[in-house]
Amino acid sequence: MEPEKDEGTPTEKKKGKDKGVETAKNVSATEDLDEQASIQSVQFGPLSPAGAVGLKTEDKRNLDLILDISVPVSVELGRTTMLIKDILALSQGSIVELERVAGTPVDLLVRGKLLAQGEVVVVDENFGLKITNICGSEERVRNLG
């Protein structure tokens, strides 16, 4: 008589049987999914200018009306508060210390509201601003108040 092979404890034997059943179920489910899946080609609409996506024709016309309106834009290097006597004491060569640390980005303000930040650059003997960060909508909303 041939000795019986030990296939582990009864719990291990049960797990082995369940694993085989589970594998068979997975294969069957995969085959069902393959039969149900179908490949379709994608059709994209024409590209439209940024900002005009999803706008109705009337809304686009309304947006066109305001595109030529000028708004004040300023770049803020820094701020400080001073006593009136210190302001009156200012003269040519006086230095006004700002609250902003040297090397930090300056603010680009549109109508007094923060829109972006950047680095000061020189362009043809004029100062300019190289934008490094556009403020997200959450940050813009927070700056409204």
Q: How confident is the model at residue 57 (pLDDT cuts 50, 70, 90)?
A: confident
CATH of domain 72-144: 2.30.330.10
Instruction: Calculate the CA dihedral of residues 65, 74, 49, 59 and round it to 10 degrees.
Output: -30
- pLDDT score for 38: 67
Residues 6+ apart with CB under 8 A from 64: none
Tokens 């009136």 correspond to: 84
Q: Are 121 and 130 in contact (CB under 8 A)?
A: yes
Confidence of residue 35 (pLDDT cuts 50, 70, 90): low
Burial class (CB in 10 A: 0-12, 13-18, 19+), 108: buried
Report residue 54's pLDDT band, with 50, 70 and 90 as the boundaries: low
| Number of neighbouring beta carbons within 10 Å of residue 93 | 5
pTM listed for this prediction? 0.51
What is the C-alpha to C-alpha distance for residues 50 and 25, in angstroms, rounded to an integer? 49
**pLDDT of the residue at 12:** 47
**pLDDT tens by residue, 87-112:** 999 999 999 999 988 889 999 999 88
Q: What is the mean pLDDT of the chain?
A: 76
Task: Give 50's pLDDT tier (boundaries 50, 70, 90).
Answer: low
pLDDT band at 144 (very low <50, low <70, confident <90, very high): low
